[in-house]
A and B are shown apart, each in its own frame.
Chain A
């Protein structure tokens, strides 16, 4: 088996190598995004001003961060439903206990990260140590988290600290959106993480857990860490969402449950693990958000936006799987 594998790797055709490249990297989804943006720019000439770019990035940031966390779990062949719960808890916490000023914002970020780490550690313990199926275990933690969010804040209301809502949605030097910087930082961290032993182990576990364990990877620890890291990303997503909505809602995280998977799948990350990445998933989330805007400005009734989103999702998954198959020469 391994010999056959190296054989095909040694002499792939030009075409196959191109397909493999497209399927493995984030190239495909970036191309789709650029094309979609071109359509948007033609429809709305204002789309290229730094103001509307900033607005778009602000809209994208929460889903992009949620998708980044989800991608880490999906890469290791898991599912994490707790994303919805963590975002809801962070949102209501920030709305019920607003902390003003830059210092308050820093503490708020730490609180959100803390919430993410705690929930992630619980998930990690259940999935990695107790070996529960990740989809079932995180279903339970998600429901518990949603309950906690409801206990903190019964009905939508409250105010997020003004400093956060202004500064986090602002532009630096009237040009660079702050939320874009946050996303950029996450992408940079991922670039480093991907090359670390943690990142390599993550891909290895997703591709084949038994082989990974046999080659000396501590699969239990890597899985646990994956959930903690993902929890941090959800915490940040909750923070950025609160900065944008400026108010609290105990069910604010719910839409992110399915959309985060949609973004990950759109980015070409295989739901059976081992293929894809965080960057592609972030671009996938951006594409989903942009698609909504393009559909709106093309005059599609907002009632039917979902029909297109669903179809695009199916097409994207079919297409990227097809590319991967061509690339692997099957």
Chain B
């Protein structure tokens, strides 16, 4: 039973791989990335028509600072999705980073230079635990990361006894509130992170390994990819990214709450999907994901600047995700390609 299922999925994957030849795949990813980027610019420009205060440089600054969180998160979520998984433990791990940063380190702690990395490593351990469950206990990623999320959230609730205390470490505040050459520090950090993420995912051998695993794990193993290590890596990276977002969030708002991560799970998945990645893995680029994250952030700031109802805002966000999904449909691209021929 299991065996027959396996061969057909392999066959499907071969068919897909046969369909998407190198040139076609590149054009598909370029099309989706460019269309997301164009949509971002158009939205910013049209915002200016609605309200002159929007679309200004300070508005762009706000978008980039707010986008910082989502870009980091969706990098982690993106590499997990790339290998055919899904990380639902992000909200709990964000909260973990935030709560450890405030109640364990706190403001004015001279030891923060080694405690902050320690927080990131602890968050990474959450990802490691998920990876162990997924790889060796063969629990589906969906269930495993969900269970980890429930466990971590409950442990945090017990650790803080329901009320998180303490304030943000100085380094986190400096990262979020600082300035360099007249540009807010988070924007520099965003540019640095986006560059590093792009180099990792699209230009390094590790990135290639992840694509190989997401496309066909057996083939990747036969080709000599260190499959086990490269399946662990995404979950650890994703958890560390979430921890970093947690630390940055407390630096931005100076306090942690037990639900601070809740609003980031669905946008992190949405950013990856809008950026043109397949939720089944093996396809997508980090540049597209950055575009998706920024698009969602722009949308959020415009809608809240318009003073629109939160409900309407949610409906519009959902509709945009749906439209992006419909536009990025495989068949549509095949049709376009056929018309071009």
Contact = CB atoms under 8 A, between A and B. Distances in A.
Interface of A: 1-2, 5, 79, 126, 130-133, 135-137, 139-152, 154, 207-208, 210-211, 250, 258, 261-262, 265, 271-272, 274, 301, 303-307, 309-311, 313-314, 317-318, 321, 328, 330
B325 A137 contact: yes
B3 A1 contact: yes
Contact of B269 (A139, A261, A272, A317): A139
A135 B321 CA distance: 12
A314 B144 contact: yes
A274 B266 CA distance: 27
B311 A148 contact: yes
Instruction: Sort A-B residue pairs by CB-CB distance and give the 6 closest, nearest first.
Output: A306-B154, A150-B311, A147-B314, A143-B318, A147-B315, A144-B318
Interface stretch (B109-117, B135-143, B206-214): B135-143
A202 B137 CA distance: 27
Given A146-B314, A207-B1, A140 B142 contact: no
Query: Taking chain B's interface residues, is the majority helix, strand, or loop, or is none over half, making it mixed?
Result: helix
A249 to B, nearest CB: 13
B232 to A, nearest CB: 17
Interface string B313-328: 1111111011001100
A154 to B, nearest CB: 7
B166 interface: no
B10 to A, nearest CB: 12
A326 B24 CA distance: 44
A328 B86 CA distance: 28
A9 to B, nearest CB: 10
Chain B: number of interface residues, binned into ranges:
35 or more
A147 B143 contact: no
5 contacts: A131-B331, A132-B326, A133-B278, A265-B143, A318-B139
Contacts of B325: 132, 136-137, 140
Nearest to B273: A136
B157 interface: yes
Interface string B1-29: 11111011001100000000000000000
Residue from the set A152, A210, A303, A310 with the largest chain B CB neighbour count within 10 Å? A310
A136 B279 contact: yes
A318 B319 CA distance: 37
Contact of A304 (B12, B144, B154, B319): B154
A39 to B, nearest CB: 20
Nearest to A264: B143
Contacts of A146: 314, 318
A313 B314 CA distance: 31
Given A131-B331, A137-B325, A147 B318 contact: yes
Nearest to A262: B146
B140 A272 contact: yes
Contacts of B1: 5, 207, 274, 328
